[in-house]
Structure formats: structure tokens, C-alpha cells
Amino acid sequence: MSSTSHPTLRRTLGLRSVVLFGLAYLTPLIVLGIFGVVAETTSGAAPSAYALALVAMLFTALSYGRMAAAYPVAGSAYTYVRRTIDARAGFLVGWAVLLDYFFLPMVIWLIGGSYLAEQFPAVPTPVWIVAFIVLTTGLNLAGIKVADRANSLLMIFQILVLVFFVLLAAGHLVSGRGPASLFSLTPFTGEGASVTTVAAGAAIAAYSFLGFDAVTTLTEETVEPRRTIPRAILLVALIGGGIFVVVAYVTQLVHPGGAFADSSAAASEIARTIGGSLFGAFFLAGLVVAQFTSGLAAQASTTRLLYAMGRDAVLPRRVFGYLHPRLRTPVFSILLTGLVGLIAVRMDVATSTSFINFGAFTAFVFVNVAVIALYVRERRAGRRPGVLAYVAAPAIGAVIDLYLLTQLDGHAITLGLIWLAAGAAYLAYLTRLFRVPPPELDFAEQSQAAPVSSG
């Protein structure tokens, strides 16, 4: 099908916009949202956990960057595995990723609604959830450029909250203990922390990084994607990780150790300690804005994955592969994610988040394996990509991600395996009991990989 007879995604996003979408997906303020849990797990060494998680995630970020340069199309892990390993494996990875992508907006809207309901108890939580869904869905329906502008403004506010938090924390430390209190190794060593506790904390902290890969789903709306997307992936991981380590360090200085009255609300207590009730309200506003920007980016990424799978007809093409002729947005996919988000009114945060992590780490493992498969393909074609970059680094990344996958609770793993079984059953139907590959549209832009560098 030619591009002249079928609406296509419009290339309007530059490096800054893609990085901002990735950071919004990460939600920098999430470091404060789960600080208490990480500090409690590590016995007061939260920044060490984030530093270890950053190193671990960079291996996978490098793999995503290499695959995005080789295959600059929407679809992320689904596309990469499909192109390098097998179409059926690609489908199952895409199906697993749907657990992460499809339900993440719902979780984000649920958390945002919970924040507001706690502050304004007269308004029921479902009202706030529906308000989040309507606003976010409306902006994404209007087009990626409109969502980009809104995202940029709201991200600035979120960063301001973090900057004020760090400055107030520093001021609180200096006024109470002097300038020397800003420099200490205690936040990294903790009070009784060990390699085991820091590793356990890193497994939790790694969840804060989920979403650096989401920028790959915007590939077909990005200018010069072969150059822009790999840079954006690394920048999102590095900037996000840097923010996490710095904020965790300062917060751990304000509250040494890992003992809290309520670890899930530790950051709110610390915000009131360093800035009083006024900053506490400002901090709450920042958390709500963080949830909104994250939901905006998460819904946009989810619908691009659904569009890629619909375009290839592994999901019903008339629904998921449809783009609005004027808006150039996957309208039905956007509306569907909004409807799925309504499930949040009947769920709690703990239950809903259990859907997410299984799909994310499954995708991470297979993207690293896909880089190794690309290496084999390039060698057969007579090219000589670097062994360190295309075999050793992704192998390390795959082992780390597989370990993190095994650290999920049994409930999450059970739900993930049930979801995969349902996907395998649907794939068997789609491929006549695996006798034929899943259907695919041969778009010229995605028909082959670009040669990789020999460096």
C-alpha cells in the first residue's frame, strides 16, 4: 500500500521534544514517590540503589538505541524482535509489552486520582480519574504536536518542583548543620546497608526507569530518527538517572536511615519538614502534574504500539491500524486506552501495578537478544559489527533484566504468564497453528535494517 493512498504519521518531533516525552514517561518526581520504600529496603542507601539501577539500565538503553538506528519505525520491542529473530516471537513480545504499555496509563491516572482524593476527600477518587482520562485523551486526539506543547509546559513545572525541593532541602541542611552537611558518604553507605540490600533496592529503583524505551514508539513522528532516537534513549536514561541519584542523595541527607512512620508517604512528610505547609501544597501540585504529564506520554506511546501492530494486521487493522485523515492520530487506539483506564475506578494501586513489570522486563530481555541476533545477521552479510557493542553489552543487559524479572512477586509473574498464554492462543489462531507467519504490510521504510557500524 503506497504512502500516497494511506494516511501516515507526521514527522514533527526533534530531539528536545522526544527527550521531554521520555522524561515525562519516567516521571522524575517518582523518585520522591517511592523514596521511602527504597530507603527502607536499602537501610538508608537509596542513592546507591539508584546509581546501581542506572548502570544496569544503561546496558539495555544502549541496545534500544542500536535497534532504533537499525529499524527507525514505530513498534519498539515488537518491531525489533520481529525483524531480527522471528515474526511469531515478535508478536509474543509485543503482546507482553501490552501489559506494560496498555495498563500503565491506567495506573498513572489511578495514582494521580488518589493524590487528589486524599487532599480533597469531598470529591470521590473516580471523579478525579475520569477527569485525568478525559483531559489526557483529548490532548492526544488533537495530535502529537498539541500534546508535545502541553507536555513541555507541564514538564517545566515538574522540574521546578524538584529544583525547589532540592534547594529547600539544601537550605534546611545548611541552616541546621552547616555547609559541610551537604557532603557526606553516608547516603551511599547507609546505616547497616549491604550489597544484598542495595541490590534489592536497585531492583525496586529500576522500576523508576521503565519508560526510557517508550521514545522508540515515536520514531515515525521524529525528524531524522536514525540519529535522534538513539541519542534520545541514552539522554532520557542518563538525565532521569542523574535526577534520581541527586534527589535521593539530598533527601537521604535530610532523613538519614530507612525508618519511617509510613514509607509510602515519606516524601510528603519530608517536603513539609523542609518547606512548611505552603511548600507541601506546592509539592502535591507537582505530584499531580507529574502524573498528568506521565499519563499523556504513556497514552501516546501505547497507541503508537497498537497502531504498529494494527498496521501489520496482527491486531484488527480497521480499528488499530486506522489514522484520522486530518489529525493523523490513531483515534480508535487512543479512545480504547481511555476506556481501559476506566478500570482504575474499581482497582487499587498495588493490584494494577502488578500487571506492568512483567511485560517491561520481558521486552528488555528480548531487545538485548535482538541486538545479538542483528550481529549474527550482519556477520552473514559480510559486515563486522563490534563484538563488545553487539554481543557482550547486550548479553550483560539480558542477564540483568532476566534477574530483575525473577525478582517480581509471584502474583505479577502468574498474571504475566496467563497473559502470555492468551497471546499464544491468539497467535495460534492467527497463524493456523503456527504454520504461517503473522500477516505483515511491507512498508518501504521498514523493509530492511540499516547496516550497522563496524565500531
3-state secondary structure 259-279: CCCCHHHHHHHHHHHHHHHHH
Q: What is the pLDDT of residue 440?
A: 58
Q: What is the pLDDT of residue 447?
A: 37
What is the phi/psi pair of residue 315, to 5°?
Answer: -120, 155
CB within 8 Å of 89: residues ≥ 6 apart: 81, 82, 366
DSSP H/E element including 344: none
Report the alpha-carbon distance of residue 85 to residue 87 in Å, rounded. 7
Task: Give the amino acid at 452.
Answer: V
Report the alpha-carbon distance of residue 42 to residue 47 in Å, rounded. 9
Report the alpha-carbon distance of residue 408 to residue 358 in Å, rounded. 8
Q: What is the pLDDT of residue 366?
A: 94
Dihedral sign for Cα atoms in the order 53, 294, 249, 261: negative
Q: Using alpha carbons, list the distances in angstroms from residue 23 to 100, 117, 446.
A: 17, 26, 27
Decide if 359 contacts 124 (C-beta within 8 A): no
Residues facing residue 13 across a β-bridge: 222
What is the phi/psi pair of residue 409, to 5°?
Answer: -70, 160
CB within 8 Å of 375: residues ≥ 6 apart: 385, 387, 390, 391, 452
| SS3 call for 451 | coil
Report the alpha-carbon distance of residue 86 to residue 445 in Å, rounded. 19
Q: What is the pLDDT of residue 405?
A: 81
Q: What is the pLDDT of residue 75?
A: 59
C-alpha cell at 130: 475520569
Which residue has cell 535521593? Answer: 248
Report the alpha-carbon distance of residue 283 to residue 379 in Å, rounded. 53
C-alpha cell at 245: 541519584
Report the alpha-carbon distance of residue 9 to residue 243 in Å, rounded. 32
Q: What is the pLDDT of residue 296?
A: 77
Decide if 68 contacts 225 (C-beta within 8 A): yes
pLDDT in tens, the chain (455 residues): 344 455 665 677 888 888 887 887 777 887 887 788 889 889 999 999 999 889 888 999 999 989 888 887 665 787 889 889 988 888 888 888 777 777 778 878 887 787 777 678 888 889 998 998 998 888 888 766 655 666 666 667 778 888 889 999 999 999 888 888 899 888 999 888 888 888 888 878 887 787 777 787 677 778 888 888 889 989 999 999 999 999 999 999 999 988 887 676 677 778 888 888 788 888 878 777 777 777 777 788 788 778 877 877 777 888 888 887 777 788 888 888 888 888 878 776 656 665 677 888 898 899 999 999 999 999 988 888 889 999 999 999 999 888 878 877 777 788 889 989 998 998 898 888 888 877 654 333 443 455 554 44
Q: What is the pLDDT of residue 444?
A: 36
What is the DSSP annotation of 184-224? Answer: -SHHHHTTT--HHHHHHHHHHHGGGGTTGGGGGGGGGGBSS
DSSP H/E element including 251: helix 225-254
Q: What is the pLDDT of residue 228?
A: 87
Report the alpha-carbon distance of residue 150 to residue 23 in Å, rounded. 14
Report the alpha-carbon distance of residue 213 to residue 233 in Å, rounded. 6
Report the alpha-carbon distance of residue 163 to residue 29 in Å, rounded. 11
Residue 119's closest CA among 265, 255, 263, 338? 265
Residue 81's closest CA among 429, 427, 374? 374
pTM assigned to the model: 0.76
Report the alpha-carbon distance of residue 113 to residue 108 in Å, rounded. 9
Report the alpha-carbon distance of residue 427 to residue 281 in Å, rounded. 49
Helices (H), 312-446: 317-320, 331-341, 349-353, 356-380, 387, 393-406, 410-430
In a 13 Å sphere around the CA of 314, the CA atoms on its Cβ side amount to 29
